[in-house]
Amino acid sequence: MSGGPLTGVRVLDLTRLLPGPVATLHLADMGADVIKIEDHAAGDYARILGDGPDGVSVFFRSVNRNKRGLRLDLKQAQGREVLLRLARAADIVVESFRPGVSDKLGIGYEALRAVNPKIVYCAITGYGQTGPLAMAAGHDLNYIGFAGVLDQIGIDGGQPAIPNLQVGDLLGGAMTAVMGILAALFDAQRTGQGRLVDVAMSEAVLAHNLFPLFALQTAGAVPARGGDILSGGDAGYGVYATADGRYMAVAPLEQKFWQVFCEAIGRPDWQARHGARGAAAAALRRELVELFASRSQAYWRDFFANVDCCVTPVLDVAEALEHPQFRARGMVVQADGLTQYAPPVKLSGWVFAVDRAAPSPGEHSEEILRESGFGEQEIAALQAGSVI
């Protein structure tokens, strides 16, 4: 990948499903040589989660592009030896086992550090390597529940709403992992010493759950669900239904935007109601409900298209993919027979490309081992023993 900022960086990826593979996807897209290592049994069972070309899911294909594939049985001593040899020339290892599993296999941080002091070893878990919940199983819903985020999602009087964006998996297991990996990699390049990067998805969510924390310290309590200014307490920040059953995201929160909004809809008398709270906010919200319900989404979309006051249509994913803004920014790419997202980071001197489709199981095993100094007889013996 020409110009990729991580060109020359090698990553051994032992993860599966969503958080880890998305983290290594970002590294691969930026030019790193990511080697996806799967076992001989199920491997990464994201392959079969949903339909896709040739029986491989769209999910798997989308989050494992630009990677190479190696099959390796880490339960065999020979498989562990192969990984240790690969680690000598690697920069980064990413895994998502429960705490202690990699150590029991003989491929934990200390074992890899012994053969390569510069190795950056990232362990992604739900609750971290230590603490009373370290060994507990969990999913995204559990992590955002523990972090006080789920409690705040939903409307006044309703139960918590499950977001369709996996906040814990993606903010925690992917983006936070990448942040830690790149920080440790930078330090390793300077000092010659790598680090263990301990990423807990629940902690990543907690660390970004900011407004409830602010409220707890300033008001002594967290607002009820749907009562924070950004979740229902301010009528000037909300979602309003249109006449055709669609929605508008209405967010003229600041006074300057609220004034422009009121002028645009012909209600300058509403300007004094900026920042209304409690019963006054509820009364204003009822009037806004009536206003937006009077016309279709298309009408309001066009009406506010050139009015700079933070009012936009709520699009579905298909509409977002076709929007001129995302198209102009190159966020939608066609590759491997799929519509995929481009990376959300633009860097000068680098043009993103999908150079590889997601690998089939072990697709590049022999190629990778040859590059790492394994001879033909060694490779043949590993194949005969079902190690690779």
Q: What is the pLDDT of residue 54?
A: 84
pLDDT averaged over every residue in the chain = 96
26 belongs to the catalytic site: no
State mean pLDDT over 13-33: 98
Sign of CA dihedral 364, 367, 373, 375: positive
Query: Which tens digit of pLDDT belongs to each residue from 134-190?
Result: 999 999 999 999 999 999 999 999 999 999 999 999 999 999 999 999 999 999 999
Confidence of residue 3 (pLDDT cuts 50, 70, 90): confident
Q: Is residue 28 scored above 70 in pLDDT?
A: yes
Q: What is the pLDDT of residue 235?
A: 97
**What domains can you pick out in the chain, each with its CATH number?**
10-208+330-384 (3.40.50.10540), 233-241+247-313 (3.30.1540.10)
How many residues does this entry show for the chain? 388
Instruction: For residue 369, count CB atoms less than 10 angstroms from its CB and return exposed for 0-12, middle for 13-18, buried for 19 or more.
Output: buried
- 250 and 243 in contact (C-beta within 8 Å)? no
Task: Kindly give the pairing relationship between strand 311-313 and strand 247-250.
Answer: antiparallel
State mean pLDDT over 292-310: 98
Tokens 């993860």: give the residue. Answer: 15
- 75 and 38 in contact (C-beta within 8 Å)? no
Q: Is residue 270 scored above 90 in pLDDT?
A: yes
Residue 325 CA to residue 347 CA, distance in Å, equals 18
39 belongs to the catalytic site: no
Residues 13, 44, 140, 169: which is the catalytic one?
169
Q: Is residue 96 scored above 80 in pLDDT?
A: yes
Q: Is 358 helix (H, G, I), strand (E, B) or coil?
A: coil
What's 246's DSSP letter?
Answer: -
Confidence of residue 2 (pLDDT cuts 50, 70, 90): low
Q: What distances in angstroms separate CA 264 from CA 251, 269, 310, one per listed residue?
A: 14, 12, 12
Residue 297 CA to residue 242 CA, distance in Å, equals 6
Q: What distances in angstroms separate CA 39 from CA 71, 163, 249, 254, one per listed residue?
A: 6, 32, 46, 54
- 79 and 72 in contact (C-beta within 8 Å)? yes
> pLDDT over 90 for what percent of the chain?
97
Q: What distances in angstroms separate CA 181 from CA 83, 124, 129, 365, one per listed residue?
A: 19, 11, 16, 25
The predicted model scores a pTM of 0.96
- 184 and 29 in contact (C-beta within 8 Å)? no
Sign of CA dihedral 88, 94, 99, 105: negative
Confidence of residue 1 (pLDDT cuts 50, 70, 90): very low
Query: Which tens digit of pLDDT belongs to each residue from 203-236?
Result: 999 999 999 999 999 999 999 999 999 999 999 9
Query: Which tens digit of pLDDT belongs to each residue from 38-87?
Result: 998 889 999 999 888 888 999 999 999 999 999 999 999 999 999 999 99
Query: Which tens digit of pLDDT belongs to each residue from 179-189?
Result: 999 999 999 99
Query: Which tens digit of pLDDT belongs to each residue from 275-288?
Result: 999 999 999 999 99
State mean pLDDT over 319-324: 98
State mean pLDDT over 234-255: 98
Residue 164 CA to residue 317 CA, distance in Å, equals 12
> pLDDT over 70 for what percent of the chain?
99
Residues 51, 139, 244, 308: which is the catalytic one?
139
